[in-house]
Amino acid sequence: MSGQQFGSEDVSTEIPNQSSSAEGVLNLEPNAFMKWLPHRHNKGIPKPTYEPGLSTKVKYPMSNYVSNHRLSESNKSFVNQLSTVAIPNSVQEALTDPRWKTTMNEEMKSL
d(CA 106, CA 100): 10
d(CA 78, CA 101): 22
Which regions of the chain are under pLDDT 70? 1-43, 46-63
Please enumerate, as own/partner, the contacts of 32-39 that have beta carbons within 8 Å and a separation of 24 or more. Answer: 32/6, 32/7, 32/8, 33/6, 35/7, 36/6, 36/7
Using DSSP's 3-state secondary structure scheme, residue 6 falls into strand
Please write the tens of the pLDDT for every residue from 71-94.
Answer: 899 988 888 887 777 788 888 998
The pLDDT value recorded for residue 74 is 92
Is the whole-model pTM more than 0.75?
A: no
Backbone φ and ψ of 50, nearest 5°: -150, 130
Using DSSP's 3-state secondary structure scheme, residue 102 falls into helix
